[in-house]
Amino acid sequence: MVTVPGLLKGLETFVAGVIFAFVIDSHLYLRQPALVWCVAVYSICFLLAAAALLLNWCDCDNRLPIAFPTFLLGLTLLSVLLYTSALVLWPLYQFDEQFGGQPERSSCNDGLIYSVCTWDQQLAVAILTAINLLIYVVDLVFLVHMVFSRTEDQLRGSQFPLLYKS
């Protein structure tokens, strides 16, 4: 899967893994159902991307009832929609006072050398959510182009050449 979609799927799973490293402390999200939804989004999208990678690596992608690029297109579109919701909800509930968030970073002195402040963790997740959404959008655009250019190429070589005009 050393293709653009394969590399993007690998990058999507990597960024999700980094997000998981920051949300390992459940106090970041358990206080609000919307934040629990965001963690569920990260988990669902991670599992979908990992499943796509595994299907391809195990050479099982030809056993699907639809073409693999079309399958990837559906997974990626779903992930874009889910990540869009997380991109709205995570910063809203973490940084807006009306929703119980903390808009400004408070002093963080836990006395630990390698400690990361809660606010910094929240900000890192917000930034990584935006980065991963951007990766998913690039993946979606690439897959749309791949799926529909493949369809056009198939129409060009079909037995009904009048249905496709160059």
What pLDDT, in 10s, does the model give residues 32-42?
899 999 999 99
161 vs 120, higher pLDDT: 120
Say if CB 58 and CB 110 are below 8 A apart: no
Indicate the average pLDDT of the chain: 82
Assess whether pLDDT exceeds 80 at residue 117. no
Residue with the larger pLDDT of the pair 27 and 108:
27
* Residue linked to tokens 């250019």: 149
Which pLDDT does position 162 carry in this prediction?
A: 34
pLDDT of 56 higher than 50: yes
Rounded CA-CA distance 103/136 in Å is 28
Residue 138 confidence (pLDDT) above 60: yes
Angle at 27 between CA 32 and CA 112, to 5 degrees: 150
CA 114 to chain centre: 28
**Tokens representing residue 91 in the block:** 């910063």
Q: Between the CA atoms of 93, 96, 98 and 102, what dihedral angle is there, to the nearest 10 degrees?
A: 90
The structure's pTM equals: 0.82
3-state DSSP assignment of residue 160 = coil
